[in-house]
Amino acid sequence: MFKKIIFRVGGDKIFTLIAVSLFLVLSSSGHAEGEGTPEKVLGPENVMVTLYALGGAAAGQKTYGEEIYLSKGTPLQALITLKQIVLEGKKPSRSFEMKDQLEVIVFRGSFLKLSKIAIKKVVLKDSSIEVYAEYKDLPGAGIASQPAAIIPVGQLPPGKYTVILFVDNKLRKKAEFSVSR
How much is the pLDDT for 28? 35
Q: Edge-to-edge strands of the sheet including 170-180?
A: 40-42, 114-125, 128-138, 159-167, 170-180, 95-97
pLDDT confidence bin for 44, thresholds 50/70/90: confident
Phi, psi of 112 (to 5 degrees): -90, 0
Which residues does residue 5 pair with via DSSP β-bridges, in sequence order? 17
Query: How many angstroms separate the CA atoms of 75 and 81, rounded?
Result: 10
* CA 139 to mean position of chain CA atoms: 28
How much is the pLDDT for 66? 94
If you ran DSSP here, which 8-state letter would residue 46 be given? G
> What ranges do the domains of the chain cover?
40-180
Lowest pLDDT segment from 46-60, 88-102, 110-124, 161-175: 46-60
CA-closest candidate to residue 154, choices 119, 121, 117, 124: 124
User: What does pLDDT average to over the chain?
Assistant: 79
pLDDT tens track for 126-148: 899 999 999 999 877 778 889 99
Query: How many angstroms separate the CA atoms of 102 and 81, rounded?
Result: 12
Q: Edge-to-edge strands of the sheet including 67-72?
A: 48-50, 148-154, 102-107, 67-72
CA-closest candidate to residue 177, choices 99, 84, 92, 73: 92
pTM equals 0.76
pLDDT tens track for 73-127: 999 999 999 999 998 999 999 999 999 999 999 999 988 888 999 999 999 998 9
**In this model, does residue 69 exceed pLDDT 90?**
yes
How much is the pLDDT for 102? 97
pLDDT tens track for 4-15: 333 333 333 322
Q: Are strands 128-138 and 159-167 parallel, antiparallel or unpaired?
A: parallel
**In this model, does residue 163 exceed pLDDT 80?**
yes
Is residue 102 exposed (0-12), middle (13-18) or buried (19+ Cβ within 10 Å)? buried
